[in-house]
Structures are given as structure tokens and as C-alpha cells.
Structure 1
Amino acid sequence: MNIVRPKKKLGQHFLKDQNIARKIVDSLGTTEPNVLEVGPGMGVLTQFLLERPELNVHVIEIDKESVEYLYQNFPALENHIYSEDFLKFNFPDLFEGKFNIIGNFPYNISSQIFFRVLEFRNRIPEVVGMIQKEVAERINAGHGNKTYGILSVLLQTFYQIEYLFTVSEQVFTPPPKVKSAVIRLVRNDRTDLPCDETLFFKVVKAAFNQRRKMLRNSLKEICIDLPAEYAEKRPEQLSVDDYIELTCGIENQIKKTGHAI
């Protein structure tokens, strides 16, 4: 097999610029030897990952045609290729300890990939991913920015975010209709939240699901008696620390009223 056909239903846009591929791989630090590449396609990143002897490279790919190509062209990956769906894959079956993630993430599931990263954040110290530029800007946005949203808050709670560089549409086959960007996530020092984690996620999602409303309205299903300093604010006005403090306040109110979280 000489080539893999990009499949629209899988959101495949194969990077063809070797210099950018090397630059992406060079952006991955050496915090952990174990590396999982998501959606390697025809291995444009894989080839450079395998040039780094300190790395223990594994790849996960849902496209059967790509899997066949990887087996034929990357014998060094023998027993390290997983023909699986990343969003459903059981990571404990792969690595016993920590592992980094890298990839040219399919645009149609990039947000879901990051929610999966959050789920296993204590095992994933670093992520380098190429995604839609708009999504990268949203993840990196600070509070007060109109693009600041759910992923911004949740990822910034547990990771330091770096917007590394923008990538033109013309370096892909087929070219996407939007620009791309490469970002890096590095796990921060926050291990536990001072509030209930499930409630924290619920508060952030509920706030931004009605982002044009003041918090006293968007969060009324969670807490009627919202802390006064937040009631008249809109979701994009709160920093990560504000959301943690707000959730602590809501949790205290729930405990007082006896309502379950």
C-alpha cells in the first residue's frame, strides 16, 4: 500500500509538510518516555518520533486502512499499533504509569479528545496537538475574552497552555477550510480541588451553556442562592480560581439546604 485515502467521515486531513511535522515532534518534551500518538494516518509525525531513541512510541488509529499502512511501513512499531477508538480506549491496558500524547487530532473530535485527557490528567503530563486554530485560541483564551469557554476553564484548571504556532491550510491533503494551530499542554501542580470535582465541572458547563445570561440565571438549576459577588456576572468574566471559589460557595449552600449534588 503506497497511500491512504483521507476519509471525510473521520475528519482526516493528512499533513504533508515534513518541516512542520518535525517541528511538532520537537515540541514534545522529555517528561515521560512513553508516548501515545493519536491518529497517525500515514505516519508523518511517527517517523520523527521513532528517531528519538528515548521515546517508547505507541500509536492508536481507528482507520483500518491507515493501520495496514503503518504495519507495512513502520516495522519498528510492531505490537505498538492499536486499531482502536481513542475515545473508548482503556488506557490502563497500554501503560502502567504516565504517558504523553501527541497527534494531528481529527477536527471533528478534538474537543472530545481533550475531555478524555482531562479524565486521565494525572497520568498525562503533556499533550502536543495540532487542532483547528479557532479551538486552539479558545483553549488558550483568558477570562474576559469572548472565546473563553468550557474547555478554556477546565483545561487551564489542570494544565498550563501554550499556543505554539499557526499552520496554513495548504500543507494538508486535502486542505481543510480553516487554519490549524499547534498547542502544548503541560500538567500544572493542582492535584485536588477544594470543592467537589463533579460539581465544579457541572457549574462550568452550565454557566457557558447559557453564556449570554448572568450567572444567577444560568446556574439557578444548581443553586438559587448564588454568592452575591458572582450573581450579576457573566461566565466569561470569571477566572479559573473564581470558578473554584464559586463552586466552593455553591457546595456550602447545597450542604446547608440538604440538597444532593
Structure 2
Amino acid sequence: MQKVKPKKHLGQHFLIDLGIAENIAHSLTGHQGVKKVLEIGPGMGVLTDFLLEKQWELFLVDIDKESIAYLNNKYPQITERIIEADFLRKDFAPIMEGQYAIIGNFPYNISSQILFKVLENKDQVTEVVCMLQKEVAQRIASPKGNKDYGILSVFLQAFYDIEYLFSVPPEVFNPPPRVNSGVIRLTRNQTQKLDCDEKMFFSVVKQGFGTRRKTLRNALKGMSLSEEMKADPVLDKRAEQLDVAEFVELTNKIQKSWKT
């Protein structure tokens, strides 16, 4: 079979190191007994080969027509589960019934968007193993108080336990990216719903990190804080100093202050 040519406009960097591919594939644990897996951007199937060894019920999604043709030719046994689509636009609920895991070497330019979509489908997605730009991977896995800790860290850590697994150098890709990569694992935690208004929680986190060098008192000025709320010592902190539980508590305090 003729190899697929990596396409710059799709952000394709094909992993060519089989040892690393095997490590990524084997990092998927089947959390909560899930056996259904969706691989995003399989390219020429470097991860797929190892995933098929594990007997997962494997689905592949790729936006690249050339990759889809290659994959259909390479894996005739799963051709009905090879989907040509844009993951960000496709509704997978009717296809991936019940719970499932996600794995992939995510294109760097849309990795955050992919993870925001994972959040939207958190009741179905029990586990994610993915390779991202190293800085993004570190940010997502970072605890509070770290300079890398940010909006996506809080949002994802609210519903997933996150582990930074290992780093990957540029030379194991074709073409080599200009950055290092990192592999992380997200495992769905026990939180079904936050103990606060979730829409407001997301708003507080976004505004809190909007001017991250400022204290929360300044960052949250646009939220019409009461005088009593403005005096709360928690607002002396910066957003990066609060974990998920503390953001939940802050959200509830702000909402309560509006009612008094």
C-alpha cells in the first residue's frame, strides 16, 4: 500500500517509532470495564495495530480522505467502524452508544478543542490517552500553584484524574514537529455533577484566569461582587492558587452574595 503523505494544513505528524506507539496504546486501561475505543486521527494505523491486539471494539475517525482510504484497505475487518469525519463537528452519541474511551495523537492546533469536546461528553468518555504538545500536556496535568495551571487544568480536573505519563522527542515523527510532545491519561473520577451552578463555575474560572497575574478581586470585577464579597480573603489569591473544590466554594459564595 502506498503510504499516506502528512498534510501540513491538517497538522499531521505521523509517529514512526513503534516502541512509543506500543507504550501509548498500552497506556489505555479500560477504566470502568469499558471495551469500546475511539481513536482520533489514526493516520496510517501505527497505534491501531497495537489497539487491535488488545481486542478492543475499535472505532477510527479521521478527516483525511487519503488516510481513510488507506485504513479501509489495511483493516477490512473493521471497515464499518472507520469513520470519515471531523471529530469536532461530528455527533458521536448515536455511533458510540454507552461509555467509551478515546485515544490518539492529537493535532497540536486543535488538541484543546478536542478536550473541550471530551468535557461535553464526560458522561460517556471514561478515559482518554492522548499525545499533545508537551507544554499543553503539562498544563493539563499541573496542580494548583504551578505556573502551568490554567483554565483547561481546572475544567478537566473537575471530572478526570490526570497523569502525565511520558515525554516524546520530535525525531520520532514524520515530519518532526518543532516542539516536544507529552502523553497524558485522563481517567473519569466519581464527580457526576459539581456542587455548584456549573455554568457559573465555568464563568468564574474563565474570568479568574483572564488576568491571571491579578488577584481574584480584580479579575472578577465584572461579576458585580457585593461589598461583603469583595472583602472575602479568598479574593486576595490569584486564580492559579485555587483547586477545583476551592473554585466550587468561590462560585457558591458569589452566587449566595447576589441573593443577600
TM range (shorter): over 0.9
Structure 1, gaps ≥5 residues long: 257-261
Does 1:238 find its partner at 2:242?
yes
- Over aligned residue pairs, what C-alpha RMSD do you find? 1.1
Structural mapping, 1:52-201, within 5 Å:
52-53=54-55, 55-201=56-202
1:187-243, CA deviations, whole angstroms, 9 ceiling, x for partnerless residues?
111111111111111111111111111111111112322360222211111111110
The residue aligned with 2:38 is: 36
AA aligned opposite 1:46: T
AA aligned opposite 1:241: A
**Do the aligned residues in 2 keep the contact of 1:138 with 1:148 (CA within 8 Å)?**
yes
Task: Compute the displacement of 1:52 (Å).
Answer: 1.4
Which 4+ stretches in 1 moved above 4 angstroms? none
Matches of 1:181 and 1:209, distance apart in 2: 25
**Do the aligned residues in 2 keep the contact of 1:223 with 1:253 (CA within 8 Å)?**
no
The residue aligned with 2:254 is: 250
Task: Compute the displacement of 1:95 (Å).
Answer: 1.8
**Do the aligned residues in 1 keep the contact of 2:138 with 2:164 (CA within 8 Å)?**
yes
Matches of 2:185 and 2:78, distance apart in 1: 25
Instruction: Decide which moves more: 157-166 or 73-82.
Output: 73-82
The residue aligned with 2:8 is: 8
Matches of 1:64 and 1:222, distance apart in 2: 47
**Do the aligned residues in 2 keep the contact of 1:223 with 1:250 (CA within 8 Å)?**
no
**Do the aligned residues in 2 keep the contact of 1:13 with 1:172 (CA within 8 Å)?**
yes
The residue aligned with 1:229 is: 233
Task: Compute the displacement of 1:253 (Å).
Answer: 2.1
AA aligned opposite 2:186: L
Task: Report SS of the residue matched to 2:194.
Answer: coil
TM-score (norm 1): 0.95
1:80-137, CA deviations, whole angstroms, 9 ceiling, x for partnerless residues?
0111111111121212200000000000000111111111111111000011110011
Task: Compute the displacement of 1:172 (Å).
Answer: 0.2
**Do the aligned residues in 1 keep the contact of 2:225 with 2:257 (CA within 8 Å)?**
no
**Do the aligned residues in 2 keep the contact of 1:58 with 1:80 (CA within 8 Å)?**
yes
**Do the aligned residues in 1 keep the contact of 2:40 with 2:60 (CA within 8 Å)?**
yes
Matches of 1:113 and 1:190, distance apart in 2: 21
Matches of 2:141 and 2:120, distance apart in 1: 19
Matches of 2:149 and 2:224, distance apart in 1: 23
Task: Compute the displacement of 1:174 (Å).
Answer: 0.3
Matches of 1:196 and 1:72, distance apart in 2: 49
- Give 1:45's match in structure 2, choosing from 47, 54, 57: 47
Matches of 1:232 and 1:162, distance apart in 2: 30
Matches of 2:248 and 2:153, distance apart in 1: 14
Matches of 1:126 and 1:218, distance apart in 2: 33
Instruction: Decide which moves more: 14-23 or 86-95.
Output: 86-95
| Number of corresponding residues | 255
Task: Compute the displacement of 1:146 (Å).
Answer: 0.6
Matches of 1:207 and 1:6, distance apart in 2: 39
The residue aligned with 1:259 is: none
Q: Between the two proteins, what is the percent identity of the paired residues?
A: 53
**Do the aligned residues in 2 keep the contact of 1:35 with 1:56 (CA within 8 Å)?**
yes
Task: Report SS of the residue matched to 1:144.
Answer: coil
1:36-57, CA deviations, whole angstroms, 9 ceiling, x for partnerless residues?
000101110011111112x100
Task: Report SS of the residue matched to 1:69.
Answer: helix
